[in-house]
Amino acid sequence: MPLTPIPVITIDGPTASGKGTVAHLVAVRLGFHYLDSGALYRLTALSAMRKHVEPNDEHGLAKAAAGLNCHFKGEHVFLSNEDVTAAIRAEAVGKFASCIATLPTVRQALYALQLGFRSPPGLVADGRDMGTVIFPRATLKVFLTATAEARAERRFKQLIGKGMSATLHDLQKDLNERDERDASRIIAPLRPAEDAHLLETSNMTAEDAVAQVLAWYAAARKREDAHPAAK
């Protein structure tokens, strides 16, 4: 009997486009595993920052990525058994993560780790290059967008809700800088895969976005069942 490939749904998009929320809800709805690939870059950044590795020390950063001792439990993220769920969300860590994500050796060091998240019954993976580089043969690829204003406002509400301080102006500036860096890097830049479905979420609730992704997934499965060799 032919082996049925483990289905993967990739959800890529810029910072604060809502991909984390949507990907997590889709995974829950389907009973699939969930990969927050941005968390791996953030974990690498946090680990490197704590070891005082300089942002230009490519060898030291690749070593931090390759030696990452992390695990996920529900919505919690652990670095060497320490719960760093909140620590990796700090803006400084996100900024450092975006910088080190430009380095090919860091991306290479995290490649196999990301592939390892694909296990039965399926995976929802969110990030910047899930559909273009890590899972190019995914069953469904989605690319989320939202205006810079909508994204800054979302991030602002998230941070304030967590009791962190932030200003809309600073967030917008940081977001624009990060978009620019993520989209202009030479390796695995932020861009939709050719066969990705685009979803503009500025005026959409998370529930609406989830419903759309689930509908696309049902259609993709139907197509795969009809033409099993297509992917």
Choice from 24, 33, 118, 128 touching ligand DC (CB under 6 A): 128
In the complex, least distance from residue 13 CB atom to ligand DC, rounded to whole angstroms? 9
> Could you count the other beta carbons within 10 Å of the beta carbon of residue 29?
14
Nearer to ligand DC, 95 or 223 (CB): 95
CA dihedral 113, 115, 117, 120 (to 10 degrees): -150
Quick note: the x/- pattern for ligand DC over 58-97, rule CB under 6 A, is ------------------------------------x--x
**Three-class SS state of 72:** strand
> Of 138, 121, 101, nearest to 230 (Cα)?
138
Q: How far is 41 from 96, CA to CA, in rounded Å?
A: 9
In the shown chain, the binding pattern of residues 136 to 175 toward ligand DC, with x for contact by CB under 6 A and - for none, equals ----------------------------------------
Q: Does 98 bind ligand DC (CB under 6 A)?
A: yes
* Strand extents, DSSP E, 85-168: 123-127, 140-145
Nearer to ligand DC (CB atom), residue 4 or residue 56: 56
H-helix or E-strand containing 194? none
Closer to ligand DC by Cβ: residue 30 or 133: 133
Query: Which residue's entry shows tokens 């009809």?
Result: 226
Residues in touch with ligand DC (CB under 6 A): 15, 37-38, 41-42, 94, 97-98, 101, 127-129, 178, 182
